[in-house]
Structure 1
């Protein structure tokens, strides 16, 4: 087998692409994932509130460890909120980027 034949064989495009309507239950799956995302956003709001309370309690009691953990929790909650909000955009961006790979 020639080297070009091997490369052509390895570069075979299977022709697979995401398509809606291929399987039953796609609408239900989208609804379930959207509900999970909403649940995570609500949990993140709760985590941010708890982190803010710990931060304030640590500050007012002079507990530098609690204050640091409250700040850390607030930053983590903010990062999680950013990721949850950007989830669709991130997946779409990297999916589109992946289609450009040849």
Structure 2
């Protein structure tokens, strides 16, 4: 397979893997740490009104989702691209990191 095609494929697969991890953790966080009772988080106005009621525990899963999604996506992209010492092999991983 030509290197350019392999690297583009690595980029797409890395973005998909990182996005899947990100969304999974966001959904899991909403189940494990529900919003404060009586808050409406479905609209921007409701979320803005509820934000002062959120504690630090409500921000752990969004942080983990973005951090681990980026890590997994970049690792998958680097693996598919054939990680090595050459800078040309590393650009899919860097692109995934920049995207997230």
Shorter-chain TM range is 0.3 to 0.5
What TM-score, normalized to structure 2? 0.40
What TM-score, normalized to structure 1? 0.39
RCO (CA 8 Å, sep 6+): is it higher in 1 or 2? 2
Query: Highest CA radius of gyration, 1 or 2?
Result: 1
